[in-house]
Amino acid sequence: MNKESTYVIVGASLAGAKAAQALREQGFAGRIVLIGDESERPYERPALSKGYLLGKDGRAKIYVHEESWYDEHEVELLLGRRATRLDRAAHEVELDTGERIGYAKLLLATGSSPRRLRLPGAELDGIHYLRRVGDSDRLREAIRAGGRIVVVGAGWIGLETAAAAQEYGCDVTVLDPQPVPLLAALGAEMGAFFAGLHLRNGVDLRLSHNVTAFQGTERVTGVLTEDGSEFAADAVIVGIGASPNIELAEQAGLSCHNGIVVNELLCTDDPDIYAVGDVANSYHPFYRGQLRTEHWDNALNGGPVAARAMLGQQVAYDRLPYFFTDQYDVGMEFSGLIGPGGYDRLVTRGDVEGQAFHAFWLADDRVVAGMQVNLWDDGIAPVQELIRSRQPVDPDRLADTSVPLTAHVLV
């Protein structure tokens, strides 16, 4: 087939695979080429710091589709190949093999990469970053061995891997420059909840500690902090955030700012090129502004929307941000957007000490974000309804568990 009937997806990821699936489900009969620089077929990443890392989920469970699915649906899966250049004028993608693939429509699902520390000793063996399944395999072997594990960064990856290492029986220390974990994501109050969770489970949580160097000759043996403290380590896990993989888009001259800039259709400033997932900074109709979200739910739901937009359907990507975590005996779902200075009051509903509650972030008595902890019967849907309503709520009724989480809590 020629490029006039070819849709190319760069990024054999969850978002890319779900886009390919949606193209077929929507009746697209042309050629679909799915390009990935990993040797693994598309898989989901949350388990890499949760069940898969803990050995509770087998490898087969992480894949988006069965291996046979791609042939059965005539999706050409090109693995172990990296897209190195876009020729927008010629409508072609060039691979590191020199092959050029023409496209009618192109979807960039190139994801993000872990931010790396540029400090003395940062290249020593035994320092782990987590993004790919191979990273999780190597990290599991390291923490299975026990010993002293130092985690740099008290964000979601840092805390989830710290919980996994502690469950393997390691002596775990977490270092973070902020006064509470997850400060940017959850604010001080709920950051303190997760701090308490880790302290109760035996983690040595060292906050307001800036890492300055790693010790060791060939392999890491310790971590130094700004105040002169030294923390012995048999292995180190670094989780300090991620950066969108925009190199291909930048080379092609697409608009990039904190990711690839796209509209609500997930379309770039080139009408034949779209972007989705971690790499996309999309216009969000509900928030009336650009938003880049790195979580699993964004990839899962964004891929199908991008596919429909590529087919010319009138769609808009307006999912509220959503993420979840599993740490020790706590399962949590969060939805909404806080942002710096984005709330003026936190309301809790339920038993915080018993780890079964809702939390709501309010701005001018309107719910802007909420989470549920270990309340799976209620789920996150009522929280999202309150956010989307934009209506003021009565904080006292919101906190009262005898009042249903419905419009009854509205003022």
How do residues 279-325 score in pLDDT, each as one tens digit?
999 999 999 999 999 999 999 999 999 999 999 999 999 999 999 99
Do 3-113+242-310 and 127-238 have matching folds? yes
- What is the number of residues in the chain? 411
Where in the chain are the domains? 3-113+242-310, 127-238, 329-409
Task: Supply 353's token pair.
Answer: 């000490």
pLDDT at res. 1? 43
Q: Is 111 exposed, middle or buried (0-12, 13-18, 19+ CB in 10 A)?
A: buried
Is it true that domain 329-409 has CATH number 3.30.390.30?
yes
The share of the chain scoring above pLDDT 90, in percent, equals 95
In Å, how far are 151, 219, 292 from 126, measured between CA atoms? 12, 6, 31
Enter the pTM of the model. 0.95
Task: Read off the DSSP letter of residue 256.
Answer: B
Cα 311 to Cα 145, 190, 254: the distances in Å are 50, 42, 21
Rounded Cα distance between 358 and 126, Å, is: 39
Distance, in Å, from the CA atom of 13 to the CA atom of 109, rounded to the nearest integer, reads 7
Q: What is the CA radius of gyration of the chain?
A: 22
- Paired tokens of 258: 């904190």
Residue 195 has pLDDT above 70, yes or no: yes
Q: Decide if pLDDT at 409 tops 70.
A: no
For domain 3-113+242-310, give the CATH number.
3.50.50.60
**Amino acid identity at 155:** G
Distance CA 268, CA 261 (A): 6
- Do 41 and 66 meet the contact criterion of CB atoms below 8 Å apart? no
- CATH homologous superfamily of domain 127-238? FAD/NAD(P)-binding domain (3.50.50.60)
Q: What is the mean pLDDT of residues 79-101?
A: 97
